[in-house]
Structure 1
Amino acid sequence: MKIVIAPDSFKECLSAQEVATHIAIGIRKIIPNAEIFEIPISDGGEGVLEALINGVGGRRISVSAMDPLMRQLKAEYGILKDGKTAVIEMAKASGLELLKEHEKNPLISTTFGTGQLIKDALNKGCNKIIIGIGGSATNDGGAGMVRALGATFLDDNGEEIPEGGGSLERLKSIDLSNFDKRIQNCEVIVACDVSNPLTGANGASMVYGGQKGGSKQDLEFLDSNLAHYANKIKATLNIDVSEIPGAGAAGGTGAGLMAFLNGKLVNGIELILQTIKIEEFIKQADLVFTGEGKIDGQTLHGKTISGIAAMAKKHEVPVIVLTGKIGEGIEEIYNIGVSAVFSIVNQPMDLKEAINQAPVLIQDCTKNVMSAIMCFNKD
């Protein structure tokens, strides 16, 4: 029996590779000789580095960079086997998971470290950059990233404004005279799984700023600041990022990448699936396992499960979804190619307990699913 295991990560719990490993263990408890292909996936956020390095081949690079609060850390990115394509996961330097709960503050958090990773990739001769922009702790419109590449953001007095989205209201002008010119000859592809505009009710601040530590008052202030930032970008570059779908991704980093780096936003899951050529495995499979930490109505819109299911449906391969939590609005999931959905939680337990027991829960759930399947495949 050929089985493809292609899950996303269970956020704040297990990486996509760890999830795949535990599913494989569960399968082999029932079918020891199963032919299993573990292919960890990302929809463009956390896990894009792991997915592409594992799927295509390449090497990991560790460099010193600044975290969202401008503290030094070691951050990782990858260079694919062609030696010219860098894979940067924004969350590695500018991610929410780098901060403790009391440290989350979108008024001061910055994307500067992500810019440092881009610069290091340019220094190593890369002329193509794939950047996954999920999981950020920031709301600065990518201004910090652009600064790390040589731009200067000035106030009325010609002084540099501080880092963070809270300072953008003071922005008077953007000086690009020292901006890294190598960007002009670099293809920048932005893996993104959201289509939010930069500002407004569905914009970066109002939709995502709260989870990054912003109060209601902060969010309104940050939204106004990003609108001001968009005006300054238009005055400087003659590019209007205010209404472009996806510009609001990662606290407006989508806008910064499009405006200053000529970044092209693409659907994250489609990019990953095409790059690693997973369809070649799926079309030969008898069964596909996928999953993520939580599924709900949003799962149908550009997430890992929807991408995997659509591809499997094309080849009439059944898809089993494992998840930690089943939310509302998943009824339509069965119309996109999913055969069945199972929660790994097998009894009442709090989140902390579920996270601690996740490896065993995944193995046990998989084992039970495979036992049921094998009841109908005794021949």
Structure 2
Amino acid sequence: MGSASFEGFGLRVVVASDKFKGTLTSAEVAEAVGTGVRRVCPDATVISVPVADGGDGTLSAAVAAGYTLVPVDASGPTGEPVRSGYARSGHTAVVELADVSGLVRLPGGVPAPLTATTYGTGELIAAALDAGCTRIVLGIGGSASTDGGRGLIEALSGNNSSLRDEKVPDRRLAALRRRLDGVQIVVACDVDNPLTGRRGAAAVYGPQKGATPQQVAQLDAALGKWADVVARETGADLRDTPGAGAAGGVGFAALALLGAELRPGIELVLEMVRFREKLAGADLVVTGEGALDEQTLHGKAVAGVAAASNGVPVVAVCGVNRLSAEQLRGIGVAAAYALTDVEPDVRRCIAEPRPLLEELGERLAVEHLTMTRREKGIA
């Protein structure tokens, strides 16, 4: 499209987008949108604030916010060694389950619904604690396992032997209590599923991890036994607590054995990247994710950014938009710009998203920043 140029704008645009899964990182989305905006408004200041909802991309968002990446060799979901790490700022560590125990770490992408473990996530938390961190922010989206967080607990309690169904040895609980004394653990959790049952971790999310109906029943029974064990040892049964079924039951283990607090992932990430500070003087916020759909309305990055934008106008960019204008307005988004608006061929949108996203940056600048220019009386 042709680019009308409005020099001397002095406008400020904050781009706080999630990744476009499988195509662009959050930072790449911001770069492409910024390129398009500056074609229209050469003097506009474009601030990149990569965000995530607590799943994959959380570690990258932390590093982009100034945290230091600390590499750690850990166990992948099927036991193979992987190079992962945590992000650190002061005494706070950010751990992303997806990067070590997630679907993206399955060798060859082959699901392992009955055997995938969160042991590596526990190794990362242990490494952060051993390095002196006293606050752990744990993003748990994208899990490959349905182990109820058992692997994580095994790693944290310092024993490689599997926890038996009948008992959690007292020495394990004592070791956990010593290790977590004075430590705050906050878990990014965006679901309210219980651990077991029709809405439990196995029934709802097991099929997404490759579980057959028979395996779902097997996993649900195992989670029930695990919950029985933990209830006997701790004196509290938290299997029905909202969020206990998150990440294959990691939510349950975090609540019952780590004393964790569960919070919406996007809220945690926006705090971590100091989003509200970046809003100062902003004329427009551009948020986004790969697909705008019903899930967007329930705690995903776009809705979270819009809710936190403190009255600054918000527009969204995406690969495909399945929401109505009314639904978008309901979460505080004035308009959505989709790659498929520019290029109906989804294959090209996936293969070459950057130039299309740049064009969307131009469009939204013309349609929103020119109006702001007039309202502010900028010549």
- Report the TM-score, using the length of structure 1 for normalisation: 0.89
Q: Does 1:319 align with 2:285?
A: no
SS in 2 for 1:246: coil
Matched letter for residue 24 of structure 1: G
1:270 aligns to 2:267 (yes or no): yes
Matched residue type, 1:10: F
Residue 360 (structure 2) aligned to one of 350, 360, 365: 365
Q: Tell me which residue corresponds to 2:168.
A: 174
- 1:138 partnered with 2:138: no
1:205-263 alpha-carbon deviations (Å, 9 max, x no partner):
11111111111221122122212211111011112121111111111101111112111
On the 8 A contact 1:295/1:330 being kept in 2, the answer is: no
Give distance in 2, aligned partners of 1:48 and 1:160.
29
2:13 corresponds in structure 1 to 3
**What's the secondary structure of 1:147's corresponding residue?**
helix
In the TM superposition, residue 374 of structure 1 has moved relative to its aligned partner by 5.2
Equivalent residue runs for 1:46-65 within 5 Å: 46-55=56-65, 57-65=66-74
Which amino acid in structure 1 is aligned with residue 44 of structure 2? A
Q: How much does 1:350 deviate?
A: 4.0
Tell me the SS of whatever aligns to 1:130. Answer: strand
Contact 1:152 1:174 in 2 (8 A): no
Aligned partners of 1:190 and 1:265 also within 8 Å: yes
Structure 2 counterpart of 1:109: 116
Deviation at 1:274, TM superposition (A): 2.7
Match status 1:121 vs 2:118: no
Give, in whole Å, the separation in 2 of the partners of 1:201 and 1:187.
Answer: 32
Q: Distance in 1 between matches of 2:119 and 2:108?
A: 20
Contact 1:296/1:329 (<8 A) preserved: no
Between the aligned partners of 1:79 and 1:273, the Cα distance in structure 2 is 16
**CA shift digits 1:32-67 (9 cap, x unpaired):** 211111101112222222223332x23111111000
Task: Report the counterpart of residue 52 of structure 2 in structure 1.
Answer: 42
Pairing partner for 2:327 from 324, 327, 332 = 332
Q: Partner of 2:88: helix, strand, or coil?
A: strand
| Distance change >3 Å, CA 124–CA 330, structure 1 → 2 | farther
Structure 2-normalised TM-score? 0.89
**Contact 2:121–2:152 (8 Å) recurs in 1:** yes
Q: How does 1:218-233 map to 2 (within 5 A)?
A: 218-233=215-230
Aligned-pair CA distance for 1:12 = 2.3
Deviation per CA, 1:121-157, whole angstroms, max 9, x where unpaired? Answer: 111111111111111111101101111112669xxxx
- Residue of structure 2 aligned with 1:95, choices 94, 99, 102: 102
Find the counterpart in structure 2 of residue 208 from structure 1. 205
For 2:306 and 2:336, the matched residues in 1 are separated by 12
CA distance in 1, matches of 2:335, 2:46: 19
Q: Is the 8 A contact 1:44 1:132 kept in 2?
A: yes
2:7 maps to what in 1?
none
Instruction: Return the letter of the residue paired with 1:147.
Output: E
Are 2:343 and 2:356, in contact at CA under 8 Å, matched by a contact in 1?
no
Instruction: Report matched runs for 1:243-262 at 5 Å.
Output: 243-262=240-259
What secondary structure sits across from 2:168 in the alignment? strand
1:61, 1:224 → 2: CA distance?
A: 37
Aligned-pair identity (%): 37
**How far off its partner does 1:324 sit?**
1.1
Single out whichever of 198-207 and 68-77 deviates more from structure 2. Answer: 198-207
CA distance in 1, matches of 2:170, 2:63: 33
* Paired residues for 1:19-38 under 5 Å: 19-38=29-48
Cα contact 1:109–1:138 (8 A) shared by 2: yes
Q: Cα distance, 1:176 vs. partner?
A: 4.3
Shift of 1:328: 5.3
2:170 and 2:140 mapped to 1: Cα distance?
23
Q: What value does the CA root-mean-square deviation take over the aligned residues? A: 2.1
State which drifts further: 328-337 or 245-254.
328-337
Q: 1:333: how far off?
A: 2.4
Give 3-state SS (helix, strand or coil) of 1:29's partner: helix
Which of 71, 75, 81 is equivalent to 1:66?
75
1:348-369 Cα shifts (integer Å, max 9, x gaps): 3245x43221222211221222
Q: For 2:158 and 2:229, locate their aligned partners in 1 and report how far apart those are by CA, in whole Å.
A: 13
Letter of the aligned partner of 2:95 in structure 1? I
